[in-house]
């Protein structure tokens, strides 16, 4: 009966807390897992001694000598992304999200056949993000100069009614499930490893539409890029943990991921209607359009190495720090489109078909990659009373996006480093702990964010304008309310 109640509670909590949250698409330290680990801002590679060690340092699981199951949740986030002058109208494009961070479910097992070995398991939401923004402008402007035809008629005379719109979104869900093993090779040294299977689902879309209208003619220009894919891959994390009186140290190595399989749907379109060709005195249009389904996908994690320590300055005060290096990933194709194409160049009623070549193929190519980054952080833990501890943590989460939003056919749009400050307290009882705290996150503004469009700079027949670099700002406030219950197993 006790086992049934435990399983029921676990399923209930998973249903409550498995919702989407907003983080960043090219950051490695955006989320932290487990009550104490979250309050320590994730700086626990050296000192983790609970079931979250399966993720942070599997070698530390060897110091856990009692089987247990823990479920820890949940942080409430209010996040804001603001892109200054994102479409050239002088106003910002904003994305505001209130979300719930998913739980970590983890546990350890001691098997009678292997009493000196510890086995563990974990399920966590490694990365989830949601960005959704849009902008629109309506104005009267002479987009086209008066066009005088050979028959004496005049097109686009005077001002036109201009309408420009942009829609941009990016949604990521990435779940990791892992099985761990650890063994003490010395009384104060333990080694271990976790094999993770990672599932990623990502959707990215950007649509730009522009219209210039007068009494007789509508000119338009549209562009759309869309990808929806899922991918499954494997990776390993190796860890070693050691204790030397007041000092705890740990080191981990995470292997590059091994791609298994996945599928994608991609679509792209680039069209223009009622553009004027003065040599033929005719209006014309062109259209590049394609959509392909069930394409193979590739997604990769880089090699990373982390080193952490935790030191008891006094019997009641611990300080901790972690540094982690992530290797560079060369640009690679997330998907490779097939040969099917649709490309037309239209002049009045004449339709002339020709080979799409590289132009149409590039419309459906999506790439990814990562720059090498080094993330660092530090934390303090202090015991105020027998069952109450306070925490202060800080970490720097560098962005690894090599594209800096220049290439719209690349995954991700973030181009800023994020600084996280965490404060909170832990309240312990016999078989449970309650974590309460908050994290304030701020992105360092960078001025290399490419506008989605520049509708403030249209004219001479150009409906989209020439895009320029602008700045983007990110900040977030996270309320941590984490509850962990330890189910003892006999």
| Domain 2-488 annotated CATH 2.60.120.380 | no
Contact 235, 256 (CB under 8 A): yes
User: Contacts for 280-286 with beta carbons within 8 Å, 24 or more apart?
Assistant: 280/347, 281/149, 281/150, 282/347, 282/348, 283/155, 283/217, 283/348, 284/345, 284/346, 284/347, 284/348, 285/346, 286/344, 286/345, 286/346
Cβ(302)–Cβ(329) under 8 Å?
yes
Please list the residues that pair with 181 across neighbouring strands: 119, 193
pLDDT, residue 97, reads: 60
> For residue 343, what are the CA distances in angstroms to 224, 293, 352, 360?
15, 18, 9, 7
Q: How many CA atoms lie within 13 A of 406 on its CB side?
A: 6
With contact defined as beta carbons under 8 Å apart, do 188 and 242 qualify? yes
- What are the residues whose beta carbons fall under 8 Å from the beta carbon of 249, sequence distance 6 or more? 46, 241, 242, 307, 308, 309, 310
State the Cα angle at 449 between 365 and 102, rounded to 5°.
75
Calpha distance 481→490 (Å, rounded): 29
Cβ contact 39:422 at 8 Å: yes
Q: What is the DSSP string of 203-253?
A: EEEEEEEEEEE-SS-EEEEEEEEEEEEEEEEEEEEEEEEEEETTEEEEEEE
Gap between the Cα atoms of 461 and 450, Å rounded: 22
Q: What is the DSSP letter of 50?
A: S
Q: How far apart are CA 478 and CA 234, in angstroms?
A: 30
Report the DSSP beta bridge partners of residue 106: 70, 122
Please name the residues in contact with 55: beta carbons below 8 A apart, sequence gap of 6 or more.
33, 104, 106, 122, 124, 176, 178, 194, 237
Q: Is 62 helix (H, G, I), strand (E, B) or coil?
A: helix
Q: 81 with 129: CB under 8 angstroms? A: no
pLDDT (tens place) for every residue of the chain, 490 residues total: 444 444 333 333 333 333 333 335 578 898 888 888 989 999 999 999 988 999 999 999 999 877 776 766 555 566 666 777 666 666 776 776 666 655 578 888 888 888 889 999 999 888 777 778 888 888 888 887 788 877 778 888 888 888 889 888 888 888 999 999 999 999 999 999 999 999 999 988 889 998 988 877 888 889 888 889 999 999 999 999 999 999 999 999 999 999 999 999 888 888 888 877 777 777 778 887 788 888 899 999 999 999 999 999 999 999 999 999 999 999 888 887 766 554 444 443 343 333 445 555 666 677 888 889 999 999 999 999 989 999 999 999 998 877 644 454 567 666 778 999 999 999 988 878 888 898 999 887 767 777 778 887 786 667 877 778 887 778 888 888 777 776 655 4
Spell out the domain ranges in the chain: 2-488
- Name 189's Cβ contacts closer than 8 Å, sequence gap at least 6: 240, 241, 242, 243
Contact 46, 252 (CB under 8 A): no
- Any idea which residue has 């109208």 for tokens? 89
Residues 320 and 40: their CA atoms lie apart, in Å, by 8
Q: What are the distances in angstroms from CA 465 to CA 142, 146, 166, 369?
A: 14, 19, 13, 29
Distance CA 234, CA 177 (A): 10
Structure tokens at 285: 């249009």
Element (H, E) at 135: strand 117-141
In the block, residue with structure tokens 């392909």: 292
- Does the reported pTM lie above 0.85? no
Give the CA distances from residue 304 to residues 136, 170, 415, in Å, rounded to whole numbers and listed in that order: 42, 26, 21
Backbone dihedral angles phi then psi of residue 15, each to the nearest 5 degrees: -65, -35
Residue in the block written with tokens 């259209």: 287
- Round to whole Å and give the CA distance between 239 and 315: 27
Helix ranges (DSSP H) in 301-435: 357-362
Per-residue pLDDT at 285: 81
Positions of E strands within 278-349 = 282-296, 304-314, 317-326, 329-335, 343-347
């Amino acid at each position: 009966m006790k086992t049934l109640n435990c399983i029921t509670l676990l399923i209930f909590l998973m249903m409550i807390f498995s919702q989407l949250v907003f983080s960043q698409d090219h950051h490695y330290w955006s989320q932290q897992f487990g009550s104490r680990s979250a309050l320590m801002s994730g700086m626990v590679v050296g000192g983790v001694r609970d079931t979250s060690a399966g993720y942070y340092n599997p070698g530390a699981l060897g110091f856990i000598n009692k089987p247990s199951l823990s479920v820890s949740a949940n942080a409430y986030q209010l996040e804001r992304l603001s892109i200054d002058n994102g479409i050239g109208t002088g106003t910002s494009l904003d994305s505001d999200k209130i979300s719930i961070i998913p739980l970590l479910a983890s546990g350890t097992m001691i098997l009678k056949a292997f009493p000196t070995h510890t086995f563990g398991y974990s399920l966590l939401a490694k990365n989830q993000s949601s960005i959704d923004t849009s902008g629109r402008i309506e104005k009267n402007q002479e987009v086209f100069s008066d066009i005088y035809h050979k028959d004496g008629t005049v097109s686009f005379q005077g001002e036109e009614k201009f309408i420009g719109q942009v829609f941009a979104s990016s949604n990521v869900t990435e779940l990791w499930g892992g099985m761990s093993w650890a063994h003490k090779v010395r009384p104060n040294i333990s080694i271990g490893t976790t094999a993770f299977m990672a599932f990623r689902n990502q959707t990215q879309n950007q649509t730009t539409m522009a219209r210039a209208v007068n009494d007789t003619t509508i000119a338009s220009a549209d562009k759309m890029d869309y990808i929806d894919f899922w991918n499954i891959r494997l990776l390993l994390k190796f860890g070693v943990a050691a204790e030397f009186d007041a000092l705890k140290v740990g080191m981990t190595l995470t292997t590059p991921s091994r791609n298994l399989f996945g599928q994608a749907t991609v679509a792209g379109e680039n069209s223009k209607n009622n553009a004027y060709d003065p040599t033929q005195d005719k209006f014309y249009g062109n259209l590049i359009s394609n959509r392909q389904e069930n394409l193979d996908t590739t997604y990769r994690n880089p090699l990373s190495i982390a080193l952490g320590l935790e030191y008891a300055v006094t019997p009641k005060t611990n300080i901790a720090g972690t540094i982690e290096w992530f290797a560079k990933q060369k640009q690679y194709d997330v998907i490779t489109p097939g040969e099917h194409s649709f490309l037309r160049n239209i002049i009045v009623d004449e339709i002339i078909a020709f080979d799409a070549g590289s132009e149409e193929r590039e419309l459906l190519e999506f790439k990814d990659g990562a720059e090498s980054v080094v993330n660092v952080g530090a934390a303090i833990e202090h015991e105020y009373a027998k069952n109450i501890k306070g925490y202060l943590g800080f970490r720097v989460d560098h962005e690894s996006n090599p594209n800096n939003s220049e290439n719209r056919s690349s995954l991700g749009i973030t181009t800023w480093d994020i600084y996280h400050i965490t404060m909170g307290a832990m309240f312990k009882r016999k078989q449970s702990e309650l974590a309460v705290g908050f994290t304030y996150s701020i992105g360092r503004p960078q001025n290399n964010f490419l506008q989605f469009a520049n509708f403030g700079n249209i004219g001479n027949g150009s409906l989209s304008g020439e895009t320029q670099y602008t700045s983007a700002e990110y900040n977030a406030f996270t309320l941590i309310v984490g509850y962990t219950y330890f189910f003892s197993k006999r």
